Chain A
Amino acid sequence: MISSSSPSPVIDVHGLAKHYRVADKREGIASSIRGLFHRTSRTVEALRGVSLSVDPGEFVAILGPNGAGKTTFLKLLSGIITPTTGTAEVLGHVPWQRHDDFRRRFALVMGQKNQLWWDLPAAESFRLHQVIYRLDRRRFEQTRDELVELLEVGRLIHQPVRELSLGERMKLELIAALLHEPEVLLLDEPTIGLDVVAQHSIHTFLRKVQTERGTTVLLTTHYMKDVAALCRRVVVITHGRILYDGTLAEIIDRFTTHKIVTLDFEQPPSETTIASWGEACERDGPQVRLRIDRERIAETLPRILAGQSVLDVTVEDVPLEDVIADLFRTGRETHDHASDPRGEPA
C-alpha cells in the first residue's frame, strides 16, 4: 500500500486525448442509397488533452454535460479503450495493456446490466467473481455478507436479476464490483434513474465503504446530490477539456456572483422597492425570493430589515445545479469561441 505521508498518485494522466471516427449519415432513402457507394465520416474529439492526478483515497466527481467526454475518460482509465495520444497510469499500470495484476485491483460500474447474469440470482454472479478474482472463500463470504447487510439486500441475492428493480440491480452491481476490494473504483452514473431513497442508500453505502477501505473513487454523475453527499473534489469536463478542478466549496465561491435571499414580509413591498434591493426571481404573496449580488449583501440586508417589517429571512447559496449549469454554459461559449475560425464571438 502506498504511504499516506507522501502519497504518489493512484491515477496519473497526462495529455490524454481520444478521437473517434463516426459515420456521418443523413436521413432519407436517397441518402441511404448514396451511403452504399460513398460513406462519409467525421472525427469526434471526445477528449482533447486531459491531465489529472488523483491521490489515494480521494473521492472525485467528474461532471460535465452530455457528450463532454466523462465516460470516455472512465473507459480510458479502465483500459477498455486506447487513447489517441497521451499517457496514463492507474495503480502503476498502463490501463489499456490490461494486465491481470491491474484488473484485479480496480472495478468499473457502468450501467445496470454490467456484471450480473441476467437470468440468474446475483449470488451466482458473486460466486463467479470469487473465482475470476481468485478470492479466498472465507474472505469472500465475509466481504459479501458485509456488503449485502450494508445495502440491506439479503433477500434479493437469491432472486433472478431480471426480476429486480433498477435500484435493486444497481445495489447488487455495486456489491459485485466491491467483492474483490478494489483499490480504485470507477463509477459511471451509478444513481441514474433511481428514486430518492435508493440514491440516499447508495450515497451512505459508498461513503462508508470508501471511508473504511480508503478506496479511490471516480464518479461521473448528473446529480448534484451525489456530488454534495460524496465528493470534496470536483473535476468539470466540457468538450473534452478540464474546465475546473478543485473543491466543491471553491466552485461555489468562484463561480457564484449572487446569493438567494428569501424574505417573508408582513406587508409586501412595492415592485420598485424590491428592484432597488436586487433581482426578484420569485414572488408569492408576502414571500419574495431575491438574487442579490454577493458583494452587496452585507449592506443590502440591514437596509431591508431596517425599512420593512420582516417575519422571516433565509440566505442561501445559488443551487449547485444552477452553478454547474452556468459553468457548462461558460465552457460551451469558450469552446464555440475557440472553434470560430474568425476568432470572434459566435
Chain B
Amino acid sequence: MSGSATLSREQLLPSWHGWSTMLSISVADRLAHRGDFFVGTLFRFLPIVTQIFLWTAVFSAAGSGLIAGYSRNDFVAYYLLTMMARSFSSMPGLAGGIARSVRDGSVKKYLVQPVDYVGFLMAARVAHKLVYFAIAAAPFSLMFFLCRDFFPPLPEATTIAAFLATLVMSFLLGFFLEATLGMLGFWVLEVSSLIFVYMLAQYLLSGHMFPLDMLDSIELTQAGFTLGDLVQLMPFQYTAYFPCAVWLGKIEGQELAYGLLVEAIWVVVAAAACRIAFLRGTRRYSAYGG
C-alpha cells in the first residue's frame, strides 16, 4: 500500500495567477500585523549601530590601522552589507511556524487541498520580504547614505550583478534550510532547541559575527587545513559572508564563478532536502498521526 503523495508539475509550479494571488493574500496577512512588523523592522537596525561603536573601540585600543586585513571602514561596510544579506537570507518564524502547524494539525489542510505546502510557504515568504523591504527601504537608504564614506568605490556592473545573484540565492538557501528544519516537526514534538542550535551555527559560521576570512589564519592540521577551509565546506557562509565579500571585491574572477556555482548547488541540495523531508514527513504523519 502506497502512502506517498505524487506531485504534479502544476503543484510544483503554480500558475502566475496562482503565485500572484498567494502573494497578495500573504502581503495582506503580513499587513494585518503592521504595528508589530513596523517596530520589528526598525529595531533591526540597532545591532549595526552597536557593531560600529564596538569596532571603533577595538581599533582605537589596538592602535593599528588593520585587523586581519580589514580597516575600520572595511568593518563598518562589511557589517552594513551583512545586514543587507541577512535581510534576504534570514527567515524569522519559518521553521517554528511549520513545526507548529504540524503539532496543532493545521498542516492537514495542505494535504486535503490541491496545493503544494512548500510552494505556498515560499509565496508567503516572498510576500513577507516584500513588505519588509517596503518598510525598511527608507531607513536602509538613510543608513547607507550616512555611512557612504565607509564603502570603497562602486564596483563594476558584473560584480553588482553577481552580488544581486548571491542575494537571491541566499534567500532561497535560507528559506530551504529553515523549512527543512521546520519539517523535522513531523518527527519530533518540539523543534525550538534545534532552531536555537541552527541560529547559533548560523551566527558564527555565516560571517554575521565577523568576516570569515579571519579564520584562515587558524590552522587545524599540520597540512595547513584551516578553520576557514572548514567553514567553506558548509552552506552558512552563503547567507551572509559571501555576498558581502563579492561586493567588497574580495572574491573575483574564477573564484567568484566557482563560489556562485557552489552556492547554486547548495540551493539545489537544500531544496531537495526540504522536499524529501516534506514527503517523508507527511508519509509519517499519515501513518502514525494526523
Please list the residues of chain A having a beta carbon within 8 angstroms of any beta carbon in chain B. Answer: 20-21, 75, 78-83, 96-100, 103-104, 107-108, 110, 113-115, 117, 119-120, 124-125, 127-128, 130-134, 160
10 smallest beta-carbon distances between A and B, as pairs: A82-B3, A119-B32, A81-B290, A103-B114, A131-B21, A100-B114, A98-B5, A82-B286, A131-B18, A80-B290
Please indicate the chain B residues that have their CB under 8 angstroms from the CB of A78 in the complex. 112
The answer, among A100, A103, A117, A127, for a CB contact under 8 Å with B10, is A100
- Asked if B287 CB lies within 8 Å of chain A CBs, one says yes
- SS class of chain A's interface: helix, strand, loop or mixed? mixed
Report the separation of the CA atoms of residues A284 and B106 in the bound assembly, to the nearest whole angstrom: 51
CA gap between A78 and B108 in the complex, in Å: 10
Known: A82-B286, A131-B21. A97 touches B6 (CB 8 A): yes
Instruction: Point out the residues of chain A lying under 8 angstroms from B6, CB to CB.
Output: 97-99
- Asked if A127 meets B32 with Cβ closer than 8 Å, knowing A80-B290, A83-B1, A100-B114, the reply is no
CB-contacts of B61-119 with A (<8 A)? 106, 108-109, 111-115
0/1 interface trace, chain B 1-30, chain A, CB 8 Å (1 if under): 111111010110011011001100100110
The 13 listed contacts between A and B (C-beta, < 8 Å) are A20-B289, A75-B290, A80-B112, A81-B287, A82-B287, A83-B1, A97-B6, A100-B10, A103-B112, A117-B29, A119-B29, A131-B17, A132-B18
Q: B1 contacts A82, CB within 8 Å?
A: yes
Which residues of B sit under 8 angstroms from A80, Cβ to Cβ?
A: 108, 111-112, 286, 290
Is the Cβ of B113 less than 8 Å from the Cβ of A132? yes
What is the 8 Å Cβ interface bit string for chain B, positions 24-56, against chain A (1 contact, 0 not)? 010011001100000000000000000000000
| B288 within 8 A of partner (CB) | yes
CB–CB A97/B5 < 8 A: yes
Q: How far is the CA of A130 from the CA of B285 in the complex (A)?
A: 28
Q: CB within 8 A of B114: which of A75, A83, A117, A133? A: A133
List, in ascending order, chain B residues with CB within 8 A of A132's CB.
Answer: 18, 113-115
B8 (CB) vs chain A CBs: closest residue: A100
Task: List, in ascending order, chain B residues with CB within 8 A of A20's CB.
Answer: 288-289
Q: Is the CB of B109 within 8 A of A114?
A: yes
A128 with B287: CB separation less than 8 A: no
A113 to B29, CA, bound (A): 16
**Cβ–Cβ contact A81 & B25, under 8 A:** no
Asked if residues A79 and B1 are in contact (CB atoms below 8 Å), the reply is no
| Bound Cα distance from A78 to B286, whole angstroms | 11
Across the interface, which residues of A come within 8 angstroms of B113, CB to CB? 103, 115, 132-133
Name B4's closest neighbour in chain A (CB-CB): A97
Task: Give the CA-CA distance A107 to B283 in the complex, in Å.
Answer: 21
Instruction: Flag if B286 contacts A96 (CB, 8 Å).
Output: yes
Chain B residues in 8 Å Cβ range of A79: 111-112, 286
Residues of B within 8 A of A97 (CB): 2, 4-6
B contact residues vs A (CB 8 Å cutoff): 1-6, 8, 10-11, 14-15, 17-18, 21-22, 25, 28-29, 32-33, 106, 108-109, 111-115, 283, 285-290
Q: B108: which A residues are within 8 A, CB to CB? A: 80, 110
Within the complex, the shortest CB–CB distance from B140 to chain A, in Å, comes to: 27
Q: Which residues of A lie under 8 Å from residue B14 when comparing CB positions?
A: 131
Find out whether the CB atom of B29 lies under 8 angstroms from the CB atom of A104.
no
Measured in the bound complex, the distance between the Cα atoms of B8 and A104 in whole Å is 13
- Of chain B, the residue at the smallest CB distance from A186 is B112
Chain B residue, CB-CB nearest to A116: B109
Cα–Cα distance between A212 and B105 once the two chains are bound (Å): 33
Interface contact B22-A131, CB-CB below 8 Å: yes
Complex Cα gap A119–B28 (Å) = 9
- Asked whether, in the complex, the Cβ of A127 is within 8 Å of the Cβ of B21, the reply is yes
Chain B residues near A128 (CB, 8 Å)? 21-22, 25
Name A119's contact: one of B11, B33, B106 (CB within 8 Å). Answer: B33
Whether the pair A120, B11 counts as a contact (CB closer than 8 A) is: no
Return B136 CB to nearest CB of chain A, in Å: 22
Known: A100-B11, A128-B21. A108 touches B32 (CB 8 A): no
With A20-B288, A117-B25 in contact, is A96–B3 under 8 Å at CB? yes
Give the residues in chain A near B290, CB-CB below 8 Å: 75, 80-81
Shortest CB-to-CB span from B191 to chain A, Å, is: 18
B29: A residues at CB distance < 8 A: 117, 119-120
Measured between alpha carbons, how far is A124 from B17 in the docked complex, in Å? 15
B188 CB, min distance to chain A CBs, angstroms:
13
Nearest CB in chain A: distance from B112 CB, A: 5
* Interchain nearest-CB distance for B19 vs A (Å): 9
CA gap between A98 and B2 in the complex, in Å: 11
Q: Are B109 and A115 in contact (CB under 8 A)?
A: yes
Min C-beta distance of B93 to chain A, whole Å: 14
Chain A proximity of B114: nearest CB distance (Å):
4
Interface centre among A81, A97, A107, A134 (most CB of B within 10 A): A81
Query: A99 to chain B: which residues have CB within 8 Å?
Result: 6
B114 lies within 8 A of A104 (CB): yes
Complex alpha-carbon distance, A184 and B1, angstroms: 23
CA distance A71 to B29 in the complex (A): 31
Q: In the complex, what residues of A have CB within 8 A of residue B17's CB? A: 131
Contacts of B289 in A (CB 8 A): 20, 81
Q: How far is the CA of A120 from the CA of B29 in the complex (A)?
A: 6
Shortest CB-to-CB span from A54 to chain B, Å, is: 19
Provide the bound-state CA to CA distance between A98 and B21, in Å: 24
